[in-house]
């Protein structure tokens, strides 16, 4: 139901460039329920920040979202995660335990390497 398109998985970003902010962008889809909210995490889902919905689309189109991420001043690997909330208030689930025909679950994750 949601994914990160930028940055790519296993991207390497210089800490000096990251200090200016790293644009994170993607899409989300809620079927006929639409999308009311998209959230971003840079710590593998431990904490969440609300992303900006750049293009809300319609109930049957993808929503475009973005977040300007300012990583810590540490050289480290970060796990970026996104989740969406549909128009009925149902938050995307973490577990991938549903049957294929029941809809998509789980979070899309991207690893980013911040280096000196």
Answering whether pTM is above 0.85, one says yes
**pLDDT number for residue 46:** 96
How confident is residue 95, by pLDDT bands cut at 50, 70 and 90?
A: low
- DSSP secondary structure letters along 30-63: -GGG-EEEEEEESBTTSS-EEPEEEE---TTSPE
Q: Which domain holds residue 31?
A: 2-115
User: Domain with 105 in it: what CATH number?
Assistant: 2.60.40.650
Total domain count for the chain?
Answer: 1
Query: What digits encode the pLDDT tens for the residues 15-64?
Result: 999 999 999 999 999 999 999 999 999 999 999 999 999 999 888 999 99
- Burial class for 86, CB neighbours closer than 10 Å (0-12, 13-18, 19+): buried
In the chain, where does DSSP find H-type helix? 15-18
């Amino acid at each position: 139901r949601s994914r990160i398109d930028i940055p790519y998985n296993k991207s390497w970003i210089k800490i000096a460039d990251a200090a200016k902010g790293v644009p994170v962008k993607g899409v989300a889809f809620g079927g006929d329920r639409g999308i009311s909210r998209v959230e971003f995490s840079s710590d593998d889902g431990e904490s969440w920040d609300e992303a900006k919905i750049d293009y809300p689309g319609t109930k049957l189109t993808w929503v475009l979202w973005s977040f300007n991420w300012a990583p810590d001043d540490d050289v480290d690997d970060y796990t970026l995660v996104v989740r969406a909330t549909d128009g009925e208030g149902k938050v995307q689930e973490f577990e991938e335990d549903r049957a294929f025909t029941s809809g998509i679950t789980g979070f899309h994750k991207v690893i980013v390497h911040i280096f000196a």
